Structure 1
Amino acid sequence: MLSTTISANPLKLDLRSHVKCILICFVATISMFQYGLDQALVGGFLSMPGFLKVYGYYDAERQSWSIDPTVQQLISSLVVGGVFVGSLFIGPFSSRFGRKAGLWTASLLNYVATAIMLGTSGLGPLCFARFLLGISVGWLLSFGQLYLHEVAPAHLRGIAFALFQFQLSVGGITGAAVDYGTHNIEDRRSYQIPLAIFFAAPTIQSVALFFIPDSPRWLVLQGREAEAETALRRLRNSSIDETELLAEFNEIKQSTREQVELNKKAVFLEMWRGTNLRRTLLSIAAVCFHSANGASWVIVYTTYYLQIAGVPDPFAYSILITSLGLIATIIGSLFIRYVDRRTIMIVGASMCGISQLAPAIAWTVSPGSAATGKVVVAFIGLFTFFYTGYTPYAWLLGGEYPNSAIRGYCYGFAAALNYLLVFVGTLTAPYFINPAGLGWGPKYGYIWFVSNFVVVVFAYLYLPETRDRTLEEIHEMFENKVPAHKFKTYVCSSVENYAVTAKEQVGRKGVAANA
């Protein structure tokens, strides 16, 4: 829906005035490359002879290397299990040490996990490394996203999350391309070479983090308001009007003080009390859109899926399909500032559902035929396009709904539950799609068509619209129990008063200076 939202954001609502902050957000999203890389690489490993000779077996009947469904499950799902466990600790860690410290710790875990995967040829150490890598990837994702929520100007949070998806897509393309280049190597180098890339993104980001400030909102939560103002100045261009900057800081400071006062008890319990209950449930629901659309089997098993569908050269096709995600990200970044979040959710989930249904029907009518193979390729590509086009904004909504005092706890819990569901989806997918299991193949899409339909209905009925709203405005609307359909037009008087107070303070200082 193309329309204007009423907002108390005191900043100039353009892009040029905030180039510096967008560059800082780019640094915070470098870690997102890692998740896309892992999804693409491991999906390719499951079809590599060099990998299957170590962790698989030779199928004499088919005269090819294969892998046991249980081993396939462990390799693919343990990362998701690690993300789930790690996400449970995001709240306590972020509350005490902040977002940047979380990213540095995640990078260290990544180095350990990658070193184990490179050096081992045993299934046990590989499984442990995959689990440890999951904790690392989960923290890289969640702490990076929390930072974006709290530093980007309200009208540019969508652009910041487009950067997040851009990094994911580039990571996926890189992984698919490297797999394509090494998949014919007959020994362990076929997967060790791609694994070595895991060191790159966390190293680059770890160094860059020394040059960017902490989240001003987190610093205010710690009672370090002078440091918070300094951090906000570092995030904003020097050309921004002083009155605008102080108005923004006053909004953050006063609203955060109020939120801390409202949440002085056990923070995890506060998530489920009063107006926080609605915010927590909405945050969980929005984040879990990610697991409800079926990406846990389409994205992770793209190469394998194409292979069992009889598609020639599945590695080359997987690069093409992954590239569609990057195209969707670029297109989405052009209109995200002008289209409502709810509209994006409804359209994205609808198209993901259709993209699950069509291959399922084709496979039911003519399993394994060349025509069905073409349908599979087309709709996996369509699914990838819309999935990567809308799911970043589900994460965005999930972090916008909680208040600042409990955002880390709520977002971490939502991420944990999401990845628990992804874990279940990834763990069970081989039983459905593997010929050694039920052998459904693309017919597995029937289940995910239904789940996408549920997402569409929920988004239409219950999601509040938050486009262009500051986090402080969102807090005020939830505290005033504004219905979801009225969020778009509601005037936030309290937040406006915070901004006006700051402008009056600047005016008095100017008069005193000229006296």
Structure 2
Amino acid sequence: MRAVPISANPLKLDVGSHKKCLTICFFLTIGTFQYGLDYALVGGFLSMPGFLKVYGYYSPELKRYNIDPTVQQLISSLMTIGTFISSLMVGPLSAKFGRKHGLWAASALNAVSTAIMLGTTSKAALYTARLLLGVSVGWFFTFSQLYVHEAAPAHLRGIVFAFYQIMLSVGSIVGASVDNGTHTLTTRRSYQIPLAIFFVAPTIQSILIIFVPESPRWLMVRGDDQKAEKALRKLRNSDIDEHEFQAELSEIRGSTRDQVEKNNKWLFLEMWRGTNLRRTLLCLSVVCFHAANGSSWVNIYTTYFLTVAGVQSPFSMSVMVTCLGLAGVIFSLSFTRYVDRRTVMIIGCSACALCQLCMAIVWTVTPGSVVAGKCVVAFIALFTFFYVAYSPTAWLVGGELPNNQLRPFTYGLATALNFVGNWLGTFTAPYFINPAKLGWSAKYGYIWFGTNALLVIFTILFVPETRDRTLEEVHEMFENKVPTHKFKTYVCTGVETYAAQGVAKADVLTERTPYTAEKENVQHIESQEVKKST
């Protein structure tokens, strides 16, 4: 029998009983396709003659089209600024309008920005469009993650976050593949054809979420109990046992009321008070793991190392490296339900650290050689695989830590800081790897080996285990100031009591002999252990 955390999740701990919710969560994550798509497309545009003829200039010295460094930086950085701004706005907007309206707003901004980029030849208009696109991508990214955190059953949150990473990886593959197919065109079509893909995913998502309920936990925070119950019922299979449903609903209702009563109306300040301070700091830290892994500089400068390695078709090889990322996230589906969150994060960060270290050592021994270039490309591929395999877990844990009312504020701030961290890594990388500056090239990996090693230590010391825990259980454990290493085995009696009240209500509804709360608590814990061990 494998060791599992004691959970108050009253639902059946399988996949088949929750196919409806998994389908809804999959559609809600489609928008994250945009982030991967943009990441892959724009890097290719900067090497396309058709794009450079419009936004660059012809260099007699180079005998080819080139682009001004300032223009190049603005094209990439304005997108990042947009994601930063939009992530900070998620808290107040989400609290007032909900998760679905945030995704619709993202789709509208995406359509406007894409139309501008397709039709304009003005740099000023392009800059404006990039900023708007960044805002939309930030909202797609954050609103969808908030929704799936709050909609998915506790034991399946890992799977739905793999959906998000799959969509992001597919976006990167599509972007790199389309760039590879159009980069030889010398007209504006070379970049207009890839840009048109920006319309596809948001349009599909905007139509589908018409039929999707709002987040039941957001509705409960607003005090709309009846709407919350209807939303939760729409998320669960129609044949769900009424006792399971009422137990889950009662957990959400009781815990959310406790959370709302303890917070004042100044939620940005409430994030930093009492037990919320620990939760906020942990959320910010774990979400920013992605920036500290060093993925930004590895992804952006893959083509450079492909060139050093003597690869004939760097665009095609970039697609292959991106495909390894997709393989990594698909691989994560095989263990996300069965391996502790802390274990995944420790192994993932350790693997990223070793890949960064090996790249640096190889380049130190034989700098600039074809052999070194090939070794670096191999470790970039391995880094991509391990990083993408563990990455959804860091996003998942970051969103599980805040309480229901503060989640959009805390998670939005964490996402914004992560975008800043990624920008900082990308912006400073040239100073380390450019021969005209420090000229470290792949030796830059020594720094990122150090940051990944710190992440491993931080996870061991401070990150609690949340696998299979409901969001209400996580709240109770933080409120009770449970030490980090006791999260896994802690029994949440408060949440169990709420669940028992829900079961008692279901007994009345189904005209069944009522259980006592004490008896239900014991039977519930025992049934969870049996279900998990089989």
TM-score above 0.5: yes
Q: Secondary structure at the match of 1:89?
A: helix
Identify the residue that residue 226 of structure 1 maps to in structure 2.
226
Cα deviations by residue, 1:364-409 (Å, 9 ceiling, x for unpaired):
3333322122112211111111111111111111110000011111
Identity of aligned residues (%): 63
Paired AA for residue 238 in structure 2: S
Ranges in structure 2 where 5+ consecutive residues have no aligned partner = 515-534
Paired AA for residue 217 in structure 2: R
Cα deviations by residue, 1:222-274 (Å, 9 ceiling, x for unpaired):
11110110111100001110000000000000100000001123100000000
1:500 aligns with 2:500: yes
Paired AA for residue 501 in structure 2: T
The 2-side partners of 1:363 and 1:65 are apart by 31
The 1-side partners of 2:118 and 2:441 are apart by 31
The 2-side partners of 1:220 and 1:425 are apart by 39
Cα deviations by residue, 1:419-473 (Å, 9 ceiling, x for unpaired):
1111222222334344565544323222222111111111111100000000000
Whether contact under 8 Å (1:183, 1:190) holds in the other structure is: yes
Change (3 A) 1:85 1:308: farther
Whether contact under 8 Å (2:308, 2:369) holds in the other structure is: no
Which moved further from structure 2: 348-357 or 150-159?
348-357
Identify the residue that residue 149 of structure 1 maps to in structure 2.
149
Identify the residue that residue 274 of structure 1 maps to in structure 2.
274
Which moved further from structure 2: 341-350 or 480-489?
341-350
Whether contact under 8 Å (2:360, 2:445) holds in the other structure is: yes
Change (3 A) 1:191 1:430: farther
Which moved further from structure 2: 216-225 or 439-448?
439-448
Which moved further from structure 2: 363-372 or 469-478?
363-372
1:341 aligns with 2:341: yes
1:470 aligns with 2:473: no
Identify the residue that residue 45 of structure 2 maps to in structure 1.
45
Whether contact under 8 Å (1:5, 1:468) holds in the other structure is: yes
Which moved further from structure 2: 315-324 or 294-303?
294-303
Whether contact under 8 Å (2:30, 2:167) holds in the other structure is: yes
Change (3 A) 1:460 1:32: same
Whether contact under 8 Å (2:309, 2:374) holds in the other structure is: no
Which moved further from structure 2: 463-472 or 437-446?
437-446
Q: Secondary structure at the match of 1:143?
A: helix
1:260-409 matches, cutoff 5 A: 260-307=260-307, 310-409=310-409
The 1-side partners of 2:352 and 2:472 are apart by 33
Cα deviations by residue, 1:63-94 (Å, 9 ceiling, x for unpaired):
55444443332222221111111111100000
Paired AA for residue 380 in structure 1: I
Q: Secondary structure at the match of 1:44?
A: helix
- Structure 1 residue 59: Cα displacement: 5.2
Change (3 A) 1:215 1:424: same
1:85 aligns with 2:85: yes
Identify the residue that residue 441 of structure 1 maps to in structure 2.
441
Q: Secondary structure at the match of 2:300?
A: coil
Change (3 A) 1:31 1:172: same
Paired AA for residue 101 in structure 2: A
- Structure 1 residue 283: Cα displacement: 0.3
Whether contact under 8 Å (1:99, 1:215) holds in the other structure is: yes
Which moved further from structure 2: 359-368 or 274-283?
359-368
The 2-side partners of 1:147 and 1:304 are apart by 38
The 2-side partners of 1:194 and 1:119 are apart by 13
Change (3 A) 1:424 1:138: same
The 2-side partners of 1:120 and 1:425 are apart by 30
Identify the residue that residue 160 of structure 2 maps to in structure 1.
160
- Structure 1 residue 308: Cα displacement: 5.5
Whether contact under 8 Å (1:80, 1:423) holds in the other structure is: yes
Whether contact under 8 Å (1:44, 1:303) holds in the other structure is: no
Whether contact under 8 Å (2:306, 2:374) holds in the other structure is: no
Cα deviations by residue, 1:132-187 (Å, 9 ceiling, x for unpaired):
11111000000000000000000000000010111011111101110110111122
Which moved further from structure 2: 498-507 or 58-67?
58-67
Whether contact under 8 Å (1:47, 1:304) holds in the other structure is: no
1:486 aligns with 2:486: yes
Identify the residue that residue 456 of structure 1 maps to in structure 2.
456
Q: Secondary structure at the match of 2:237?
A: coil
Identify the residue that residue 182 of structure 1 maps to in structure 2.
182
The 2-side partners of 1:311 and 1:429 are apart by 22
Change (3 A) 1:281 1:8: same
Whether contact under 8 Å (2:352, 2:383) holds in the other structure is: yes
The 1-side partners of 2:66 and 2:386 are apart by 31
Whether contact under 8 Å (1:43, 1:303) holds in the other structure is: no
Which moved further from structure 2: 210-219 or 422-431?
422-431
Paired AA for residue 206 in structure 1: S
Cα deviations by residue, 1:301-340 (Å, 9 ceiling, x for unpaired):
4335534654321100011000011111111011100001
Ranges in structure 1 where 5+ consecutive residues have no aligned partner = none
Whether contact under 8 Å (2:465, 2:488) holds in the other structure is: yes
1:125 aligns with 2:125: yes
- Structure 1 residue 57: Cα displacement: 4.3
Q: Secondary structure at the match of 1:8?
A: coil
Which moved further from structure 2: 97-106 or 347-356?
347-356
Change (3 A) 1:2 1:430: farther
Identify the residue that residue 426 of structure 1 maps to in structure 2.
426
Whether contact under 8 Å (2:309, 2:371) holds in the other structure is: no
1:73 aligns with 2:73: yes
Paired AA for residue 401 in structure 1: L
Whether contact under 8 Å (2:109, 2:136) holds in the other structure is: yes
1:411 aligns with 2:411: yes
Identify the residue that residue 101 of structure 1 maps to in structure 2.
101
Which moved further from structure 2: 295-304 or 152-161?
295-304
- Structure 1 residue 482: Cα displacement: 0.4
- Structure 1 residue 357: Cα displacement: 2.3
Whether contact under 8 Å (2:350, 2:452) holds in the other structure is: yes
The 1-side partners of 2:129 and 2:301 are apart by 20
Whether contact under 8 Å (1:42, 1:300) holds in the other structure is: no
Identify the residue that residue 191 of structure 2 maps to in structure 1.
191
Cα deviations by residue, 1:27-48 (Å, 9 ceiling, x for unpaired):
1000011111111111222222
* RMSD between superposed Cα atoms in Å: 1.9
Change (3 A) 1:49 1:445: farther
Identify the residue that residue 134 of structure 1 maps to in structure 2.
134
Q: Secondary structure at the match of 2:243?
A: helix
Identify the residue that residue 21 of structure 1 maps to in structure 2.
21
Cα deviations by residue, 1:458-503 (Å, 9 ceiling, x for unpaired):
1111100000000000000000000111000000000001111111
Given the two structures, how large is their TM-score scaled by the length of structure 1?
Answer: 0.96
- Structure 1 residue 130: Cα displacement: 1.4
Paired AA for residue 369 in structure 2: S
Whether contact under 8 Å (1:69, 1:437) holds in the other structure is: no
